[in-house]
Chains A and B, each alone.
Chain A
Amino acid sequence: MTSTAPTGTRSADAPPIEIHDLHKHFGPTRALDGLDLTVAEGEVAGFLGPNGSGKSTTIRVLLGLLRATSGEARLFGADPWRDAVDLHRRLAYVPGDVTLWPHLTGGEAIDFLSRLRGKPDPRRKKDLLEAFELDPTKKARTYSKGNRQKVALVAAFATEVPLLILDEPTAGLDPLMEAVFTEHVRHAAAQGTSVLLSSHILSEVEKVCDTVTIIRAGRAVESGTLDELRHLTRSSVTAVVEGDPAAVARIDGVHDAVTAGDPEGTRLTFDVDNTAMGAVLTTLSGLGVRSFTAAPPSLEELFLRHYGDDVSDVGASGDGDAADGAGSRSGTGSGRGAGRHAAATTSEAGAR
């Protein structure tokens, strides 16, 4: 694994979450297939991956709801299955689909859950209810999806714990409430709480997470800080040139090049690996550039590429086919992905 966070603070204490080579099988289904994941103390870790990739399964193993088939999972250095009760005093969990006791009101459910943890704090509950604009007097079965979610969020934030485990916690929340949620996660992080946040909402991950782990088919395919990941993405470029753009399309690291007629020459659009940008600019400058725009790499793109591939593509990372750029998504760590880009750049230079 590449480094995930500053390591200085946790010399004596075990990290809040430490997973190594974790496997979980449901009959023939391999929900987790050698997962590695570490969340350091005080870190907010994003946990992303396509549907069915094993995020919820990981979290349920961490909560001691599921028993790992093999491998190691540790919470604060302890076994989440055996020491579940003790560990749960130190964490709060919000599932993505909250079911409540239909005949209890939201306020009653929140109190019940806080009392289970043992430290109810009415002041804090009141503040949270106000922040999330939740009416606690309604029966749970009359709550909308978003409001049920809020009940779980209020219950989770109502007690101070060193670890928050959140599984798509904002599913169904409106953007305003999502902002309130983000604020509370940041606040908790500022107090030193570690957070594992599984989410499909990239802007949310971008806003609160220090590090990101992307999981696919039960194993981590990418892991690092957001900046590290961003470095691996492509920019999309649109340029109008006078000369023949074919040379640009031939550069390794340029993908999906499309040309179209334009009053001032030829309009060329393409995606380019950030590592090949230099070569592209050199070539373009010889073609008489009339206009040029380059859109910055978005996280979205990175994730889409990780999500969209099928598994065989990942396995076949060795061939030099650049048609769809198996580049950064083929490695199991950022180091390897960067290596391939370096190679691509070199080969391009050789061709020149």
Chain B
Amino acid sequence: MSTAVAPPAVRSAEQARGATLTGTGSLVRFMLRQDRVRLTVWAVSVVFFYTYFTFALNLFFDDTAAMQGRAALMETPVGIVMGGPGYGLDDYSTGVAMSNEGITWMVLALAILSILHVVRHTRAEEESNRSELVRAAVVGRHAPAVAAVVTLVLAQAVIAVLSAGALVAVGDLAVADSFALTVGSGLSAMVFGAVALVVCQVVGHARTATGASLAVFAVAFVVRAVGDIRELGGSTLSWFSPIAWAQQMRAFVDLRWWPIALSVLAIAVLLVVAALLASRRDFGGSLVETRAGRADAGPALRGPLAMAWLQQRWALLWSCLGLGLMWFASGTMLPGIGDMIGDMVVDNPMLAQLFGADPSQLAVGFLSVLVLYGAVCCAAYAVVMAQRPKAEESSGRAEVVFSHPVSRHRWLGAQAAVAGVGTAVLLAVSVYALWGGAVIAGWGDQTFTDYSVVVWTYLPALAVFLGLVLALYGWAPRLTGIGWALVAYTFVVGMFGQVFDLPDWVYRVSPFDWVPEVFSGEPYAGDVAVLWAVAVGLGVLGFVGFRRRDLATG
């Protein structure tokens, strides 16, 4: 620290002021080292999506008619909710579309990054007692929080610069507007990171803090959407949402810089509030009292199955709610998208070649893509839940349970059963929500039975994910992350696979490739049987392995 070189007389006074920040520098380095993989993955993913969407928009909206079709869609309430305020629609282009529709999602992604980062390095650390060690060393009281913010700013800055570079390089877009878009989005997202820091001072637990901060984002999302629906291009209400502060810079339409000041101001105010609150509370303490619970367990809390359900039910409920709403909204967009793609194909023979000539089939193809996305989300859920046993084991809770008369099979069976049923429920909710949205929007070519077949045929594919993670857990618990690799692989192959002409096996590795195409083709049962066989085989393998191996010890 700079105070170290000052003469003693000055030093003591300076130290008194600066002492709460002592050690920030080394903490920053420590966090960057700790997070180098995580932050790199985030940066690469975000830049990739900027690149991809710029590229895709350039390609598919090469002609004005298609662009105008999309602009028309963006004027509808659904377009405003899922997209943006709807400015620059008269002269819709790649840059305008990125700015109008993309910002919401980029801010979402970057806000999640910000919230997770801040919570992980402050409240989660405190909760785990790890930072107690750090704090007892020569580290000031505010140093961990400040270091978390500094590293976040660094990460966001790098992402913003790289993203702007991608927009300029790939989309050939204006430099100033590109930077306005990415920097504006980054700052808007950091407002939610600052919110998370405040929340971390108020509530006592990392998961609560993450949940509450995400809830603040959800409110901001709704406020922005409702505000924009009231008035195309944004009403007064919109301005109460930090998401609007990035959107209202109107990059690529008529760029103005001053809304960015709102983000900066909000961040500054929130940081000051967080610092004040932090000075008032104890280490590890919170400002809200935790309520007393029940002294005796309810009659239902009996056995590992009940415990697994207790642990997974909230995640299941929230996932059903969130994904259900999302797919319902997507369902309502189906007719508009069908028309839009139809128009595009009429005007652009090249696109027709890519999608096929029959407009009605195009929309059906789009529906299949939506179903695939929905299934990928469910696969992610399955992987998360199949990793629960690992968390139970490494935390030491499994050790306590296994010192009771509970067999390994019974315990793992309970975990797997709840995860499996939860995944199935989530899949059903997602698919039927899509159906509900489509029906309400008057798009009823596909029957309820068709959607039901989708549920039944995707189920074994999802079971493969569950089985894979269980098998890994049974034999090599350190490698359960491979489950995520398969999710990512499936997503990439499903999304981009059709564009490239890849060898057959590349597609066949993805479990979803074995699922029959319900909406356009004939279901064929053989592949589904293979999926079930693989899933069950992997699952059994996992149980055998888990019975044979040592339990990991704290």
Contacts and interface: CB of A to CB of B under 8 A. Distances in A.
Contacts of B292: 105, 137-138
Identify the interface centre among B296, B303, B404: most chain A CB within 10 Å of its CB: B404
Given A95-B400, A138-B292, A115 B405 contact: no
B553 A85 contact: no
Interface string B483-495: 0000000000000
Interface in B259-306: 290, 292-298, 301-304
B205 A102 contact: yes
A88 B297 contact: no
Contact of A100 (B204, B397, B403): B397
B295 A64 contact: no
A14 interface: no
A167 B295 CA distance: 26
Contacts of A56: 553
Contacts of A60: 399, 551, 553
A184 B189 CA distance: 56
Given A63-B403, A66-B550, A108-B294, 17 more contacts: A64-B402, A65-B399, A65-B551, A88-B406, A91-B403, A99-B396, A101-B397, A103-B311, A105-B295, A107-B296, A116-B304, A116-B404, A116-B405, A117-B405, A118-B405, A137-B294, A138-B293
A69 B551 CA distance: 14
Interface residues of A, number: 44
Contact of B205 (A89, A95, A141): A141
B209 to A, nearest CB: 13
A85 B294 contact: no
A67 interface: yes
Interface string B387-401: 000000001110111
B400, B402, B407 pick with most chain A CB within 10 angstroms: B400
Interface string A129-155: 000000011110110000000001000
Contacts of B310: 101, 103-104
Nearest to B286: A142
Nearest to A159: B404
B407 A85 contact: yes
Interface in B357-409: 395-397, 399-407
Given A65-B550, A99-B400, A116 B290 contact: no
Which of B204, B311, B402, B551 gathers the greatest number of chain A CB atoms within 10 Å? B402
A275 B130 CA distance: 49
Contact of A95 (B295, B296, B399, B549): B399
B517 interface: no
A180 interface: no
Contacts of B417: none
Given A60-B553, A66-B550, A97-B396, A116 B303 contact: yes
Contact of B311 (A93, A95, A101): A101
Contacts of B403: 63, 65, 88, 91-93, 165
A222 B335 CA distance: 82
Contacts of A139: 290, 293
Contacts of A109: 297
Nearest to A59: B403
Nearest to A116: B404
B7 interface: no
A305 B295 CA distance: 46
A139 B400 CA distance: 18
Contact of A142 (B204, B294, B404, B551): B204
Interface string A98-126: 11111111011101110111100010000
B8 interface: no
A171 B185 CA distance: 50
A89 B293 CA distance: 29
A13 interface: no
Contacts of B296: 107-108, 111, 122, 136
Instruction: Give the dominant DSSP class at B's interface.
Output: loop
B297 A84 contact: no
B554 interface: yes
Nearest to B548: A67
A164 to B, nearest CB: 11
Given A115-B302, A141-B205, A108 B293 contact: yes
Given A85-B407, A101-B311, A142 B400 contact: no
Interface centre among A63, A67, A86, A111 (most CB of B within 10 A): A111
B200 to A, nearest CB: 15
Nearest to B394: A99
Contacts of B127: 141
Interface of A: 56, 60, 63-67, 84-86, 88-89, 91-93, 95, 97-105, 107-109, 111-113, 115-118, 122, 136-139, 141-142, 152, 165
9 contacts: A63-B403, A65-B403, A91-B403, A105-B293, A113-B401, A115-B297, A122-B296, A138-B292, A152-B400
A141 B236 CA distance: 43
A143 B155 CA distance: 36
Nearest to B129: A145
Contacts of A92: 403
B405 A111 contact: no
B405 A108 contact: no
A116 B410 CA distance: 12
B337 interface: no
B395 A111 contact: no
Contact of B402 (A63, A104, A105, A152): A63
B518 interface: no
A217 B553 CA distance: 19
B351 interface: no
A122 B299 CA distance: 13
B395 A116 contact: no
Nearest to B403: A93
B307 interface: yes
Contacts of B548: 67
B402 A84 contact: yes
Given A65-B550, A99-B395, A115 B402 contact: no
Contacts of B406: 85, 88, 116
A20 to B, nearest CB: 21
A137 B295 contact: yes
A138 B295 CA distance: 8
Contact of A113 (B395, B404, B551): B404
A63 B406 CA distance: 12
A7 B406 CA distance: 33
Q: Top 8 nearest A-B pairs by Cβ distance?
A: A111-B297, A105-B293, A93-B403, A116-B404, A99-B396, A107-B295, A108-B297, A137-B292
B281 to A, nearest CB: 14
A60 B204 CA distance: 33
Nearest to B554: A97
A85 B401 CA distance: 11
A276 B282 CA distance: 57
B399 A115 contact: no
B412 to A, nearest CB: 14
A195 to B, nearest CB: 15
Contacts of A102: 205
B297 A107 contact: yes
Interface string B401-442: 111111100000000000000000000000000000000000
Nearest to A89: B405
A107 B205 contact: no
A84 B547 CA distance: 11
A30 to B, nearest CB: 15
Q: Which of B296, B311, B551, B553 counts the most chain A CB atoms within 10 A?
A: B296
Nearest to A63: B403
Contacts of B311: 101, 103
A84 B551 CA distance: 13
Contacts of B294: 105, 107-108, 137
Contacts of B298: 108
A133 to B, nearest CB: 14
Contacts of B549: 67
Contacts of A86: 405
B551 A66 contact: yes
A88 B204 contact: no
